[in-house]
Amino acid sequence: GRGLNPILQHPVMAIHPPLLYLGMVGMVVPFAFAIAALLSGKLDTTWLRASRRWTLIPWTFLGFGLLLGGKWAYVELGWGGYWAWDPVENSSLMPWLVATAFLHSIMIQERKGMLKVWNVALAILTYGLCIFGTFMTRSGIISSVHAFAQSNIGPFFATFLIFSLVFSFGLLWLRLPLLKADNRLESFASRETAFLLNNWVLLGMLFAVFWGTVFPLVSEAFTGEQITVGAPFFNQVNIPIGLVLLLLTGAGPLFAWRRTSNESLRKNFTTPVTAGLIFVGILFAFGLRDLYALLSFGLCAFVTIALGTEFHHGTRARMRSTSENYPVALYRLCAKSRRRYGGYLTHLALVLLFVGFTGKAFTQEFEFVLEKGASRQVGDYQLSFESLAFAEASNHSTTAAALGLHRDGEFLGTLLPERRYYPAFDQGTTEVSIYSTLREDFYVILVGSAADRSAKFKVYINPLINFVWLGSIVFVLGALWAMWPTPRDRRLARVDRESTIGLLVLRKRPHHA
């Protein structure tokens, strides 16, 4: 054969597809637990405890796979971005959003006996969206730059999806009498309310992504022409939704279960809110006027301080009850409540991601032609075109430019953007070159060249983008910490296994007259 598609010849592609696969396939486990609970009528919290870790594992795979996919798109596709709201990207994001809602709402059922129907429905919907995403990717009914393998099995996936949803929700409807809530919401100012709002926001984002993704099919059905919805629609709808989600990420832990007194509200919210307002004021004083950027950075400060106070207050309380110093008390606090503090780490990851997302609003783009030996000012940088080289490899030819990068008279390094041509595919690719700091990326693309005399370049200066990749690492660390079992988790798992085995033994025991 011709070998692997050129744009897939990247180390990340050895990890990214398996992670998405494990995430999508893994969601069948909580779905199976939910269906088993419905079939058996055993709808207590046993199936939830089993489902939590088996949801957290594929949720982590899927989330990290999405972030790695963004990294691949950033360094390989040569357009300066990492997320384009492509149908294949969306097909993996949608089940992740619902699984995120499920991981939060099951805590309400475990503590309060509420949202029983809701949780089963979320488990079913998560699995259904995994099948739907596979159907979209493999059927080719919607065009995508990420669709590398299409087949004629789309109708089989569609049939299976319809059957699964009809059967599952039909079974849920039959079991409604067994799924009555044990308690009701007692106060709006409670953690239950914050989690419920979190669920609605996540499902609102899901609906926006789903509608934008399937709109070409809807338009074709009614007009005979596919009308594609682009990134502006998704950004316009999801940016405000995302900011509300970010707010709830910080506010949720500040509420108590059942109800929060006015005094506790004042005490818990004063410091984080003040920090957020001060940060917004500082940014405004330095000339930032973009409303969404001000809100995003202010909320990032609010959430960071809110999470920091949770860690600090818990550590101080442990120090008062033990003789441990601060670092030891902090570690043992987090080790004792892995689920809680691992979750807080993933919330911190969301803050870092939003810092990176917000930086995208300040991207600078330049496109120009340089003669060999010439220089040009690009933003705060000085770019010098030093040389142009041509080479032949076993399966492609390469044109590479050497560019010297300076800032304030200091030499920062040599950038080597390339263009490659693969004859077997009759396809050209771009190999970008990036000078990266925590502050920003200087991202260079070689657009084309005229012999060895001049070349056309495109440059993106992407502020704060490395916070996205830093947030990806913190996300994985937080998820791993949350899923790692504590001694109590192991005891509960052993009890669940023993009760299940005992039930099976009783069912198999012969009855004597």
Query: What is the rounded average pLDDT of the residues 410-418?
Result: 96
Give the residue, 508 or 436, on which the prediction is more confident. Answer: 436
Q: What is the pLDDT of residue 94?
A: 97
The yes-or-no verdict on residue 247 having pLDDT over 60 is yes
Q: Which of 2-16, 96-110, 408-422 has the lowest mean pLDDT?
A: 2-16
406 contacts: CB under 8 Å, gap ≥ 6: 381, 382, 383, 384, 412
pLDDT (tens digit, 9 = 90+) per residue, 124-140? 999 999 999 988 887 77
Query: What is the rounded average pLDDT of the residues 91-104?
Result: 96
Q: Could you give the angle at which helices 338-359 and 466-483 cross, rounded to 10 degrees?
A: 170
Q: How many CB atoms lie within 10 A of CB 47?
A: 24
The yes-or-no verdict on residue 18 having pLDDT over 60 is yes
Q: Report the C-alpha gap between 276 and 294 in whole angstroms.
A: 10
Q: What is the DSSP string of 222-251?
A: HHSS-----HHHHHHHHHHHHHHHHHHHHH
Q: What is the pLDDT of residue 492?
A: 63
Q: What is the pLDDT of residue 13?
A: 86
Q: What is the pLDDT of residue 152?
A: 72
Distance linking the first and last C-alpha atoms of the chain: 70
The residues that bridge with 47 in the sheet, in sequence order, are: none
Give the residue, 210 or 187, on which the prediction is more confident. Answer: 210
Give the residue, 201 or 228, on which the prediction is more confident. Answer: 201
The pTM of the full predicted model, rounded to 2 decimals, is 0.91
Share of the chain above pLDDT 70, in %: 92
The yes-or-no verdict on residue 6 having pLDDT over 60 is yes
Three-state secondary structure string covering 250-268: HHHHHCCCCCCCHHHHHHH
Give the residue, 451 or 466, on which the prediction is more confident. Answer: 466
Q: Which of 3-12, 344-353, 394-403 has the lowest mean pLDDT?
A: 3-12
Q: What is the pLDDT of residue 12?
A: 87
- The answer to whether the beta carbons of residues 199 and 99 sit under 8 Å apart is no
Q: What is the pLDDT of residue 153?
A: 74
Question: Shortest CA distance to 155 belongs to which of 130, 138, 169, 167?
Answer: 138
pLDDT (tens digit, 9 = 90+) per residue, 216-235? 888 888 887 878 888 999 99
The yes-or-no verdict on residue 184 having pLDDT over 90 is no
Instruction: Output 216-222 pairs: Cβ under 8 A, ≥24 positions apart.
Output: 216/142, 217/141, 217/142
Domains for the chain: give ranges and CATH numbers. Answer: 7-187 (1.20.120), 364-465 (2.60.98)
The yes-or-no verdict on residue 350 having pLDDT over 70 is yes
Q: What is the pLDDT of residue 513?
A: 40
Q: What is the pLDDT of residue 503?
A: 41
Q: How many CB atoms lie within 10 A of CB 389?
A: 12
DSSP structural state of residue 189:
S
Q: Is 327 in a helix, a strand, or coil?
A: helix
- Rounded to the nearest integer, the mean pLDDT of the chain is 90
pLDDT (tens digit, 9 = 90+) per residue, 140-176? 777 655 555 556 777 888 899 999 999 999 999 999 9
Q: What is the pLDDT of residue 456?
A: 95
Q: What is the pLDDT of residue 434?
A: 97
Task: Show the DSSP H helices in 261-412 as ranges.
Answer: 262-285, 291-321, 326-336, 338-359
Q: What is the pLDDT of residue 258?
A: 85
The yes-or-no verdict on residue 303 having pLDDT over 60 is yes
